[in-house]
Amino acid sequence: MRTYIIKRLLQAIPTLLVISFLIFSLLYITPGDPVLIMLGTSDNQTMTEEEYQAAKHDMGLDRPMLARYGEFLTGALRGDLGKSYITDEDVFDTIVSKMPATLILTLAAILIALMISIPLGILAAIRHNSIWDTLATFLATIGTSLPKFWFGLVLIIFFSQNLHWLPSQGIAYPLEDGWLAFFRHLILPAASLSLGLAATQTRMIRSSMLDVLGQDYVRFARSKGLKERAVIIGHAMKNAMIPVVTVIGSEFGSLLGGAVVTETIFSWPGIGRLAMNSINKRDYPMIQGNTLVMCAIFLTINLLVDIVCAWLNPKIRLDKQ
């Protein structure tokens, strides 16, 4: 196991290098000028060509791309992701300060997705080819197809505008605003973010359960006279969950990415919104730092998932793979 972890960690290094180079190259060819955004171009302010060039020089934008990339890379190795062009804040500190909000949102979304998908997937499997199965498949298809931004707005219109049950935007902090406020603010964005995951998980649990329910040990359990509930929960579900755990791991990374849209709609101050603002303002250090950290998280989670899978199923031996 230890060898495997070390091997995977070493494999992550070239992956991160390639990703960082791709980000850098893409930003280099992306139109838009951070100097213009930083200095502002309102009617209240004009800038001379000298000022423009001076700002460009200060930001290092007049240097060759490879030199800038090298500087970014050496900084990143020391844990220094640079400073924001716009706010002048340390990029790493800013990302770290925003991370809890995004993690809370993502974990809550996963939780909601599981609460929906596990019963629905099991129901579809044990009532295979029934109306319940059709309904679950239909809902899953809808869930996969609906865009998150649209679903988010529908939730806001229904629960905030019409019913006045939940706030339409913002975050609440449990220690200052109370747990009730915290959960009330969390429900809608988490539900919106969970939609896609709930749909894919429902389909996955259904097919996984169908597979497991046809296995000999399940038939044997039934022949022993065990109640159906005990068979499903005690024998079938545990084994059916292994592929689900794997998918949740990779979906976690996707949810972090999907949080960009959700956080913008719900004014949720996490790293997704930070990414959106940074892109709009061409805040290159923030975009690079944000993407790199997200990639690192994604790789780490994948590694953790592999380890958890091995722990869940002793048949999986990582060292031999």
Q: What's the closest the beta carbon of residue 304 comes to another protein, in angstroms? A: 13
Q: Is 134 in the site for another protein (CB under 8 A)?
A: no
What residues numbered 271-310 form the site for another protein, per CB under 8 A? 273-274, 276-277, 280-282
- Burial class of residue 190, CB neighbours in 10 A (0-12, 13-18, 19+): buried
Q: Tokens in use for 53? A: 């060039």
Among 12, 226, 269, 316, binds another protein (CB under 8 A): 269
Establish if 150 lies at the interface with another protein (CB under 8 A).
no
Q: Residue 62 burial by CB count (10 A; 0-12/13-18/19+): exposed, middle or buried?
A: exposed
Subset of 20-39 contacting another protein (CB under 8 A): 31-33, 36-37, 39
User: How far, in Å, are 58, 77, 134, 206, 256 from residue 295 at the CA level?
Assistant: 29, 15, 37, 30, 10
Q: Which of 172, 210, 242, 309 binds another protein (CB under 8 A)?
A: 172
Q: Which is nearer to another protein, 19 or 103 (CB)?
A: 103
- Three state DSSP letters for 243-289: HHHHHHHHHHHHHHHHHHHHHHHCCCCCHHHHHHHHHHCCCHHHHHH
Degrees to nearest 5, angle at CA 262 with 40 and 19: 70
Min CB(62)–another protein separation in Å: 15
Nearer CB in complex with another protein: 4/182: 182
x-marked contacts with another protein along 106-125 as a string, rule CB under 8 A? -xx-xx--x-----------
Choosing from 65, 67, 157, 304, the residue that interacts with another protein (CB under 8 A) is 157
The answer to the question of residue 47 lying near another protein (CB under 8 A) is yes
The vertex-91 CA angle with 88 and 96, nearest 5°, equals: 130
Q: Report the residue from 43, 77, 78, 129 that binds another protein according to the rule CB under 8 A.
A: 43
